[in-house]
Amino acid sequence: MNPADVLETARGWLAQDPDPATRAELEELVTKATDGEAAASAELQTRFAGRLEFGTAGLRGELGAGSMRMNRVLVSQAAAGLAAYLLAREEQPSIVIGYDGRHNSDVFARDTAELMAGAGVRAILMPRMLPTPVLAFAVRHLDVSAGVMVTASHNPARDNGYKVYLGRDSEGSQIVAPADKEIAAEIERVAAGSIADLPRSTDFELADESVVTEYIAQTAAIGNAPAPLKFVYTAMHGVGWETASAVFRAAGFDDIVAVEEQLTPDPEFPTVAFPNPEEPGALDLSFEVATEAGADLIIANDPDADRLAVAIPSENGWRRLTGNEVGAWLGWRVAERMSQGAEDGTLAASIVSSPALSRIARGYDLGYADTLTGFKWVSRVPGLAYGYEEALGYLVDPVKIRDKDGISAAVAFLSLASELKAAGVSFEEHERTFAEKFGAFASGQISVRVKDLKEIPAITSRLRTEPPTEIGGVAVVQVDDFAVGVGEFPKGDILRYTLEGGSRVIVRPSGTEPKLKVYLDAASEEGSAEERIAAAQRTLETLDRGVRALLAV
């Protein structure tokens, strides 16, 4: 777009922007660009180079003025487009809208409620900032047509997002194709006009407190506390504490030591560099509090509480379990309980998650399904009994909710820890028993963060043009390129390498951040439990060195 067109587009955006902050921000850029300031012109080009893409993750991006940022204009266009989509599908559609504690989450949620009501959609706004799982629960509990959660989950402080769920036939799962494209087309149609012309109404409902109460009751009901536990909990400056603590106490886990500095919602996330419990340093305060308290374990939610991180004591201090370790242990517990009740069902995990869950399913003669990355796929597996993905997402109660839920997963893990304590079994002994029964599994991840998103397809294109024959000295025996099709999976920019000995490397772009992600998996079924664990770890270290050499990182 040439500078004159960019200025015209920016002025058109200004004319409809109801937010004084973003309007002032954009007015300053327009004035400077009009005066010939090159930096301002370049910034406008960046802000209006396109639109934030509405896809199966909804919208997510940095706050600010412009079509490539999250703001009231963009959210209003999305809300009106979603309303049009719902009205074309149902005569009397309905929607429930939730929001977390990030900057502008409440504003975006109210805009959505007013625009939905103005368009003729029954709109129900959650009573206050609440975790994402409560909103996902509400979609099913209230039997509405759709749900919106305003959150950017564990993204940086300057981000926000707009996650969409569908009810009825989709049972409260996140949107998938073709719904994403159909909604995006309606949004584009709305964006051709001005949001100032869109009808608004304050005739929306506030959800009754009973929705939250019922979520707490149903989530607590999956708990089992045969032995008392002292555990540390952190909300990571998010919205988890109020709901999670009520659930824990109702489930019988009331000896909670809170990380006070991270308990209250704070959109600036002041004590962490990155509000993701996976990131190095994110749990340092939790480790300090847990050591001082003599806690049995640490439970951490991300800011919207749909993810769970767990740390356990070890001889070298606190050890954060990987998402795959938590996923396998919870899956084993589910499979064992199903076998005791002679129940049938399917376990599921995303393709980038550890093969451990498929081994558990085989050991208990249960169904198993691999899915594409994202809970929008995991949650839709027929007959699902349990599902997870390695990025700290777990679905332990699919009857209640069809999305990852860090609070119910926390209750399940606390129950496991309590059961082990009652039986006099340590976490280390539990790990060894797992290795004896199913084999040892080790997993890791390498992230290549980029400044320009075009760098990612350049890397994957090079890997396709010059496919590796070995990684870290281990021969590649099979290459699956999802771009050309693998089985029944939709096509996508994913490369999967199977190596000699059964280890695996998967390369894919992140769906929410500007980085390329590489997933490493190793396994061993030879020797004693200790030997298996050590062998899997050695192979993982070999793969890590090999991938870093391959990608020159």
CA nearest to 416, candidates 340, 329, 343, 358: 329
Q: Residue 1 — pLDDT band, cuts 50, 70, 90? A: confident
**Mean pLDDT of the region 116-134:** 98
Q: Of the given ranges (268-277, 392-401, 508-517), which has the lowest mean pLDDT?
A: 508-517
Query: What was the pLDDT predicted at 374?
Result: 87
CA nearest to 441, candidates 344, 545, 347, 321: 321
Note whether 18 and 60 are same-domain residues.
no
**Dist CA 340 CA 60 (whole Å):** 43
Whether the per-residue pLDDT at 260 is higher than 90: the answer is yes
108 burial via Cβ count (<10 Å: 0-12, 13-18, 19+) = buried
CA nearest to 139, candidates 348, 405, 383: 405
Half-sphere exposure (Cβ direction) of 80: Cα atoms closer than 13 Å? 22
Q: Residue 512 — pLDDT band, cuts 50, 70, 90? A: low
Q: Is residue 213 part of a domain?
A: no
Query: CA distances (Å), 406 to each of 234, 239, 420, 421, 477, in order?
Result: 12, 12, 21, 22, 37
Beta-carbon contacts of residue 505 (< 8 Å; ≥ 6 apart):
471, 496, 497, 499, 518, 519, 520, 521, 543, 547
Q: Which tokens hold the place of 57?
A: 């993750």
Q: How far is CA 39 from the centre of its chain?
A: 35
* Strand pairing report for 346-350 and 384-389: parallel
- Name the more confident of 408 and 344: 408
Residue by residue, DSSP assigns 506-521 as: EEEE-SSSSEEEEEEE
Note whether 283 and 349 are same-domain residues.
yes
Q: Is residue 216 part of a domain?
A: no
Q: Are 464 and 481 in contact (CB under 8 A)?
A: yes
Half-sphere exposure (Cβ direction) of 474: Cα atoms closer than 13 Å? 25
Q: Are 93 and 63 in contact (CB under 8 A)?
A: no
Q: Which tokens hold the place of 71?
A: 């703001």
Beta-carbon contacts of residue 118 (< 8 Å; ≥ 6 apart):
198, 199, 200, 201
Query: What was the pLDDT predicted at 490?
Result: 83
On average, the pLDDT of the chain sits at 95
Note whether 26 and 76 are same-domain residues.
no
Note whether 176 and 231 are same-domain residues.
no
Q: Is residue 144 part of a domain?
A: yes
Q: Which tokens hold the place of 295?
A: 């806690």
Place of tokens 């990030």: 102
- Residue type at 158? R
Last residue of a domain, one of 161, 178, 208: 208
Note whether 423 and 459 are same-domain residues.
no
Angle at CA 415, nearest 5°, toward 440 and 220? 135
**Dist CA 4 CA 381 (whole Å):** 50
Q: Is residue 453 part of a domain?
A: yes
Structurally, how many domains does the chain consist of?
Answer: 4
Note whether 313 and 343 are same-domain residues.
yes
Q: How far is CA 494 from the centre of its chain?
A: 19
Query: What was the pLDDT predicted at 511?
Result: 66
Q: Which tokens hold the place of 279?
A: 């990131």
Q: Is residue 214 part of a domain?
A: no
Note whether 496 and 427 are same-domain residues.
no
Q: Residue 458 — pLDDT band, cuts 50, 70, 90? A: confident
Note whether 386 and 445 are same-domain residues.
no
In this structure, the number of other CB atoms found within 10 A of the CB of residue 210 comes to 10
User: For 285-305, what is each residue's pLDDT tens digit?
Assistant: 999 999 999 999 999 999 999
Beta-carbon contacts of residue 242 (< 8 Å; ≥ 6 apart):
none
**Dist CA 354 CA 504 (whole Å):** 9
Note whether 317 and 336 are same-domain residues.
yes
Last residue of a domain, one of 393, 416, 438: 438
CA nearest to 473, candidates 537, 553, 539: 539
Q: Are 175 and 58 in contact (CB under 8 A)?
A: yes
Q: How far is CA 379 from the centre of its chain?
A: 13
Q: Which tokens hold the place of 187?
A: 């949004």
- Residue 331 is classified by DSSP as H
Please name the residue ranges forming H helices in 72-145: 72-89, 105-119, 132-141
Q: Please state the pTM of the whole predicted model.
A: 0.95
Note whether 148 and 256 are same-domain residues.
no
Tell me the catalytic residues. 153
Distance in angstroms between the alpha carbons of the first and the last residue of the chain: 34
Last residue of a domain, one of 28, 49, 70: 49
**Dist CA 91 CA 95 (whole Å):** 13
Q: Which tokens hold the place of 396?
A: 């332990």
- Structural domain boundaries enclosing 263: 221-438
Helix, strand or coil for residue 313? strand
Is the peptide bond preceding residue 18 cis, with omega within 30 degrees of 0? no
Q: Is residue 252 part of a domain?
A: yes
- Residue type at 403? D
User: For 85-123, what is each residue's pLDDT tens digit?
Assistant: 999 999 999 999 999 999 999 999 999 999 999 999 999
**Dist CA 107 CA 462 (whole Å):** 44
Place of tokens 């993701």: 276
Whether the per-residue pLDDT at 55 is higher than 90: the answer is no
Query: What was the pLDDT predicted at 192?
Result: 95
**Mean pLDDT of the region 29-57:** 92
Residue by residue, DSSP assigns 229-291 as: --EEEE-TTSSHHHHHHHHHHHTT---EEE-GGGTS--TT-TT-SSS-TTSTTTTHHHHHHHH
Beta-carbon contacts of residue 241 (< 8 Å; ≥ 6 apart):
233, 235, 258, 263, 264
Q: Is residue 215 part of a domain?
A: no
Note whether 179 and 233 are same-domain residues.
no
Counted residue by residue, the chain has a size of 553
**Mean pLDDT of the region 170-184:** 94
Note whether 372 and 497 are same-domain residues.
no
Q: Which tokens hold the place of 61?
A: 């991006």
Q: Are 125 and 206 in contact (CB under 8 A)?
A: yes
Q: Which tokens hold the place of 523?
A: 């396994």
- Phi, psi values for residue 426, rounded to 5°: -80, 165
